[in-house]
Amino acid sequence: MRRTALFDTHSRLGAAFTDFAGWSMPLRYGSDLAEHHTVRDGAGLFDLSHMGRIRVSGDPAFLDWALVGRMSAVKVGRAKYTMLCHTNGGVLDDLVVYRLAEREFMVVANAANAAVVRAMLGEHSNGYDVRVDEQPGVLIAVQGPMSLDVLGTGADLPYYGIRPDRLDGREVLLARTGYTGEDGFEIYCSAGDAPAIWEWAAARGARPCGLACRDTLRLEAGMPLYGHELSVRSTPFHAGLGRVVALDKPDFVGAAALRSVAAAGPETLLAGLVTEGRRAPRAGYRVLHEGTDVGVVTSGALSPTLGHPVAMAQVTAALAEPGTKLAVDIRGTRVDAEVVALPFYRRAR
Amino acid sequence: MIPENLRYSRDHEWLTEGSPATVGVTAFAADALGDVVFVELPEPGTLVKAGDPCGEIESTKSVSEVYAPADGEITEVNVTLSDEPGLINTDPYGAGWLFKLRVTGDPELLDAAGYTALVS
């Protein structure tokens, strides 16, 4: 099992660990609900070093070809949410791509897909003047409304902006990105500096948080998780994320398949569901309409913030409209569900 | 950490001596579940066989079945858990108890040393 540079820090804090894509990662330090609420009303501290980081140096036209978004249009110091698709249009991973300089990009991939993303970028780079390299280091996130107070810098950094900065005297890349639905920052630093930066942020009020609450936070925020809402068997359009596909680009990997789905419309769509009671729909549970199977739950939990169950499900496109009455088979019991617009939770600004 | 005076099932439940026995989940199981957010328990009067699923414990991440640790009749359930399911995490051997069971027959259970060996 791979360990991050912060493994000993987590052990000292008494973390419960979980195997995540071959990495031993903190699942929770104490109460996952308390960690969830901290991110909603304070500041949480996450080790995300398992995520893949790939440095792409060279011709920006390469990423326009390899990814579905128009990455050459991203300004230096800004980031864009995008996807890597198969030629058949299926999603291989969702990514955040930061433009660090005119010809320098950092691609951040899901841990489970990092090797695939790196291999596919390498393959697609044939004929382009680019280098694709693994980028070492650590990724720490500070998320929540008190994040700015913790860091003491970054107020002028726009959402989805990135810049070099110093934290506790140490050089970092500071990005205003995250996966929780709150204001927050992601800090790219060296493995050597990571323990000190972690301790510094914790001492300034950020509470260590594990992957358990990261999942409920992103679910409330309606953000997709690869392997649940996204997979190679469906396109960005199926996940309601067709906006990330720049169909007007001349050509790119997956263009023909994606144009055809965009024109015909996907047969199924991602929908937000809310249910009564406290038993949550879970991934894999059947979704029904008037007794007929119309879809499957991709993620679900009792929302810690809202106090009722929320779920995302891939359902027949015509039934994905907010207000539609559906049902979920929760371990043999049919529970009424209503389609609602995503996200379930939106922070006050 | 594992109370000496209780008996244990291989499904990580504890029982008090005597009958009706109070039944709960062990701290080991509660820690593995994470924060419990919902508990469904059998109706008092339900007859159960050892190993029967007779309820559910949901945490934010997962759902686990509650198994009857012995043959018998459910005589009482912990109604406080419907409002405060987190008691299973904070006080698994006390206020987080699940139900009381009038035990019939001679159940196969572990003592504290046997359960310690099971989870170590």
Q: With beta carbons under 8 A apart, name residues in chain A contacting B63.
A: 282, 331
Ordered per-residue pLDDT tens for chain A, 349 residues? 999 999 999 999 999 999 999 999 999 999 999 999 999 999 999 999 999 999 999 999 999 999 999 999 999 999 999 999 999 999 999 999 999 999 999 999 999 999 999 999 999 999 999 999 999 999 999 999 999 999 999 999 999 999 999 999 999 999 999 999 999 999 999 999 999 999 999 999 999 999 999 999 999 999 999 999 999 999 999 999 999 999 999 999 999 999 999 999 999 999 999 998 899 999 999 999 999 999 999 999 999 999 999 999 999 999 999 999 999 999 999 999 999 999 999 998 7
Cβ atoms A216, A31 nearer than 8 A: no
Dihedral of CA A227/A231/A233/A234: which sign? positive
The pLDDT value recorded for residue A222 is 98
Instruction: Write the DSSP symbol of residue A329.
Output: E
Cβ of B34 within 8 Å of Cβ of A279? The answer is no
Query: Is the CB of B37 less than 8 angstroms away from the CB of A33?
Result: yes
Q: How far apart are CA B58 and CA B64, in angstroms?
A: 6
Written as six digits, the tokens of A47 are 């080790």
- Which option is the CATH number for B9-105: 2.60.15.10, 3.40.190.10, 3.40.50.1000, 2.40.50.100? 2.40.50.100
With a CB-CB cutoff of 8 Å, which residues 18-57 of chain B face chain A? 31, 34-35, 37-38, 40, 56
Answer yes or no: are the C-beta atoms of A181 and A305 closer than 8 Å: no
pLDDT at B105: 82
Q: Centre a 10 Å sphere on the Cβ of residue B44 and count the other Cβ atoms it contains.
A: 12
pLDDT at B76: 97
- Compute how many other C-beta atoms are within 10 angstroms of the C-beta atom of residue A234: 21
Which residue of chain B comes nearest to A32, CA vs CA? Answer: B35
Query: In order of start, what are the domains of chain A with their CATH numbers?
Result: 7-49+137-220 (3.30.1360.120), 267-340 (2.40.30.110)
Nearest to A32 among B34, B40, B56 (CB): B34
Coil, strand or helix at B95: coil
Q: Where are the beta strands (DSSP E) in B12-109?
A: 13-15, 21-25, 36-40, 47-48, 53-59, 63-67, 72-77, 99-103
Task: Output the pLDDT for position B8.
Answer: 97
- Confirm if A186 and A175 have CB atoms less than 8 A apart: yes
Per DSSP, A281 falls in state P
The per-residue pLDDT for A244 is 98
**B63 touching chain A per CB within 8 A:** yes
Neighbours of A340 (CB within 10 A): 16
Other C-beta atoms closer than 10 Å to the C-beta of A154 total 21
Residues 6 or more apart whose Cβ sits within 8 Å of residue A332: none
Please enumerate in sequence order all residues whose Cβ is within 8 A of that of A348, keeping only pairs 6 or more positions apart, or say none: none
| Residues A62, A129: Cα–Cα separation, whole Å | 8
What is the pLDDT averaged over residues B68-90? 96
pLDDT value of residue B18: 87
How far apart are the CA of B27 and the nearest CA of chain A, in angstroms?
13
DSSP letter for A158, please. P
- B46-75 in b/e form (b: 16+ CB < 10 A) is bebebebebbbbbbbbebbebbbbbbbbbe
Mean residue pLDDT of chain B comes to 95
CA–chain centroid gap for A249, Å, is: 25
pLDDT at A234: 97
8 Å CB contact of B31 and A301? no
B3 and chain A: CB distance < 8 Å anywhere? no
Q: Hey, are the CB atoms on B31 and A16 less than 8 Å from each other?
A: yes
Q: Are strands B72-77 and B99-103 parallel, antiparallel or unpaired?
A: antiparallel
Q: How is residue B117 written in tokens?
A: 């060996």
Which residues on adjacent β-strands are paired with residue B21? B101
Q: Do B60 and A301 touch (CB under 8 A)?
A: yes
> What are B80-116's pLDDT values in tens digits?
999 999 999 999 999 999 999 999 988 899 999 999 9
List the beta strands (DSSP E) in chain A: 16-20, 23-28, 44-47, 52-58, 79-85, 91-101, 104-109, 130-134, 138-143, 162-167, 170-175, 184-189, 207-208, 268-275, 286-289, 292-302, 309-316, 325-330, 333-340
How many other C-beta atoms lie within 10 A of the C-beta of residue A231?
17
Residue corresponding to tokens 């995300």: A48
Would you say how long chain A is, in residues? 349
d(CA A273, CA B36): 22
With contact defined as beta carbons under 8 Å apart, do B100 and B75 qualify? Answer: yes
Contacts of B61 in chain A (CB under 8 A): 32, 212, 215, 301
List, in sequence order, every residue forming a beta bridge with A184; answer none if it has no partner: A143
pLDDT at B1: 81
- Binding site membership of A: which residues? 186
Q: With contact defined as beta carbons under 8 Å apart, do A68 and A93 qualify? A: no
pLDDT at A173: 98
- DSSP notation for A190-234: -TTTHHHHHHHHHHTTPEE--HHHHHHHHHHTT---BTTTB-TTS
